Amino acid sequence: MLKSTVPGVHRERRQRLSDSAPDACFIFFGAKEVVRSNSTHYPFRQDSDFLYLTGFDEPEAILVLVGGKSHLFVQERDESREIWDGERYGLDRARVVFGVDETHAVHEFYSCLDTLLTDATSVRTTLGWDADRDRSLLKALHGASRFRGKGRFGHLPVHSPLPELSELRSVKDEVELGLIRKACKATVKAHSDVLRKVRSGMTEFDAFIEFQYSLLRHGCGELGYGPIFASGFNATTLHYTRNNELLKEGDLFLIDAAGEVEGYTADLTQTFPVSRQFQPAQSRVYEQVLGVNREITAMIKPGVSYRELHSKSVELLTESLLSLGVLEGDPKELVLTGAYRKYYPHGVGHYLGLDVHDAGIYHERGRDFLLKPGMVLTNEPGLYFREPGPYFGIGIRIEDDILVTGMGSEVLTAGLPRTVAEIENVRSGGVWS
Ligand SMILES: [Mn+2]
């Protein structure tokens, strides 16, 4: 069982979702085990929506919310399987521990569906992830609605539950914030250990090993996403994943990696010199990116939209590129023509939580969604130079995780050396508490 599973919290989340469409039947499928190679599997990771609504972390489960009741379909106890795969909750314990109204054996799901749908006027489920599952479900729904008599609704409409669920998930409750804080804290520790220990002659992979070791020591057993340990020119590849090159004096080292605690992840990037000091061109770019990171942090508060934050980062980084002598011309014109995109090709951030690119709506039919207290998002401006010139091969991103509070914001990843002077001090053996 996940340590922080609190049945009351999950029940409340399910209730709020049901309230958004009281006559609907919500169906959520948990994740399956995925084969890695011959009779071995990838480590199991529960589906994020499923985890949010249940806290249940066994494979092959299904959740149904209908008529004010919750039904959890789980694998039955089976000693011959449990010898290999570990203990299962089974029906009776799962009902008590996860606070659902009823549990059923998962193989009975399709035969129960007709009964569950008796009074539902629509189905809310996510199609499009798994074609086999979609086929089975649609076949069962077809069978169910076919037998409807007069006065019923005929074939049931199927809608996505994601608009309502995304909105719920985007505002974090106290349990979620506790887990995100833990993930952020361990991640900051691991980044600061790597910042102290990395030397030229090590490889990107050696740094990754240090990072993972430190994460584990600080209570974080998993990485929240594919880590990026990119030195030198590799840092200009946004999703560099080889992570195996030799670290060389004079290069920068961009590390985008973070730990996950009970499904909740941090997302942090630092960039520092492999040598003790930045080279002049590197520190010029670094200070520009850090300046933008800080201005964006200062803007984050309830009522601001993601679009405003991103536009501001574009405006500021365009000014940076002008002051670095990379671009020439009128700043407004350069923003309009997108001249910055070659050097700043990504967005300024994203929601963060159970998924590194978390559920949450940015804008819909031209309408911007505004930040609310309890939302968590990343702030990650960057500049990347892939073409010959004075900044060739420099890739810098500075990323923090920010909680929107009632009054403004709180940087959850605070505590790392971030200025040029602070970083050079630590790289030269200085103490950082
Ligand atoms: Mn990010």
Please say whether the beta carbons of 14 and 124 come within 8 A. Answer: no
Rounded to two decimals, the pTM is 0.94
- Report CA(386)–ligand 1 centroid distance (Å): 21
Q: Which amino acid is at 385?
A: F
Q: What domains can be seen in the chain, in order of their start residue?
A: 7-168 (3.40.350.10), 171-427 (3.90.230.10)
- Report CA(206)–ligand 1 centroid distance (Å): 23
- Report CA(380)–ligand 1 centroid distance (Å): 6
Residue 1, pLDDT score: 47
- Give alpha helix (H) positions in 5-86: 7-19, 48-54, 79-85
- Report CA(239)–ligand 1 centroid distance (Å): 11
- Report CA(272)–ligand 1 centroid distance (Å): 18
- Report CA(269)–ligand 1 centroid distance (Å): 8
Residue 148, pLDDT score: 61
- Report CA(416)–ligand 1 centroid distance (Å): 17
Report CA 303 to chain centroid distance, whole Å: 22
Q: Do the bridges between strand 35-37 and strand 40-41 make them parallel or antiparallel, or are there none, so unpaired?
A: antiparallel
pLDDT per residue as tens, the chain (433 positions): 455 566 789 999 999 999 999 999 999 999 999 999 998 999 999 999 999 999 999 999 999 999 999 999 999 999 999 998 889 999 999 999 999 999 999 999 999 998 999 888 889 999 999 999 999 999 888 887 666 654 555 678 899 999 999 999 999 999 999 999 999 999 999 999 999 999 999 999 999 999 999 999 999 989 999 999 999 999 999 999 999 999 999 999 999 999 999 999 999 999 999 999 999 999 999 999 999 999 999 999 999 999 999 999 999 999 999 999 999 999 999 999 999 999 999 999 999 999 999 999 898 888 899 999 999 999 999 999 999 999 999 999 999 999 999 999 999 999 999 999 999 999 999 988 6
Write the DSSP symbol of residue 108: G
- Report CA(356)–ligand 1 centroid distance (Å): 7
Q: What is the dihedral of CA 248, 251, 256, 258, to 10 degrees?
A: 50
Q: How far apart are CA 183 and CA 333, in angstroms?
A: 41
- Report CA(268)–ligand 1 centroid distance (Å): 7
- Report CA(256)–ligand 1 centroid distance (Å): 8
**Consecutive H or E run containing 57:** none
Residue 258 neighbours by CB under 8 Å, 6+ apart? 183, 184, 187, 223, 224, 225, 265, 266, 267, 268, 356
